[in-house]
Amino acid sequence: MNPKNKKMRFDLQIIASWIEPGSRVLDLGCGEGDLLKFLIHQKGATGTGIEHNESKVTQCIEKGLSVLQGDINEEVLDYPENTFDYVILSQTLQQVYEPDTLIRAMLRIGKKGIVSFPNFSHWGCRLQLLLSGYAPVTKQLPYEWYNTPNIRVITIKDFRKFIRDVGFNILKGVAINTHSENRYGNIIAVLPNLRATYGIFLIGNGTQPGKAGIEY
């Protein structure tokens, strides 16, 4: 995999490479709309976003994007089944109060879901906790415990187990490391739960399981 668009975060580049041209896409927590803009202009997608931050919504609208300001947990309830081909949740899962409810909703309104998140099991987090005894602070998790927007920590193994437990399928999965403000990176194939900073998964609720990609 060699994503071409180097202006977006590396995880968004990979997500974009998984989206089929002409797809209907909903981006939950779309931020400033970089992924939506790319998918619309480069892949002919029909894209909609939901974002809580008012200033980011304004930036999206200035780019000509269709973005709603609101709570992603509530807004997804308004869509009928299979409205979208893909529903995307990138680096937001760790901030969601009821992730199981949200992911079920994603796969109700979308044929497939794509989820990315920082991997709390990375060796840097483990080493900080072991040596210092303090909650880890990293480039991927840059907050102190008392001011973080993250309400839970997730590992790649946790997510894979969760998807199995709730009865969905992992259709594709990769683990990555990033650098240069997350714009560049590489895929981690060996010991990804230990060595990767992020996990990215394509999930579905079909009866036939897909290829799970790298085994973690």
Predicted confidence (pLDDT) at residue 27 exceeds the cutoff of 50 = yes
- 71 token code pair: 């709570």
pLDDT at res. 83: 96
Full residue range of the structural domain in which residue 166 is found: 10-120+153-204
- Which segments of 52-210 are extended strands (E)? 67-69, 84-90, 110-118, 169-179, 184-187, 198-204
Predicted confidence (pLDDT) at residue 216 exceeds the cutoff of 60 = no
147 assigned to some structural domain: no
pLDDT at res. 103: 94
Top pLDDT among 186 and 94 is at 186
The answer to whether the beta carbons of residues 30 and 36 sit under 8 Å apart is: yes
| Distance, CA of 44 to CA of 46 (rounded, Å) | 7
- Torsion angle (degrees, nearest 10) of CA 44, 5, 213, 191: -160
184 assigned to some structural domain: yes
pLDDT at res. 149: 65
88 assigned to some structural domain: yes
129 assigned to some structural domain: no
**Mean pLDDT value across the chain:** 87
Cα–Cα distance list, 173 to 28, 98, 138, 156, 211 (Å): 19, 22, 23, 10, 8
Top pLDDT among 139 and 27 is at 27
Strand-pair partners of 90: 116
Q: Which of 59-68, 144-153, 167-176 has the lowest mean pLDDT?
A: 144-153
CATH classification of the domain holding 63 = 3.40.50.150
pLDDT in tens, 38-96: 999 999 999 999 999 999 999 999 999 999 999 999 999 999 999 999 999 998 888 88
2 assigned to some structural domain: no
Q: Which amino acid is at 50?
A: I
30 assigned to some structural domain: yes
pLDDT in tens, 97-143: 888 999 999 999 999 999 999 998 888 888 877 888 877 777 777 77
| Domains: count for the chain | 1
With a CB cutoff of 8 Å and minimum separation 6, the contacts of 151 are 94, 95, 96, 97
57 assigned to some structural domain: yes
pLDDT at res. 208: 45
Top pLDDT among 105 and 208 is at 105
The answer to whether the beta carbons of residues 95 and 148 sit under 8 Å apart is: no
77 assigned to some structural domain: yes
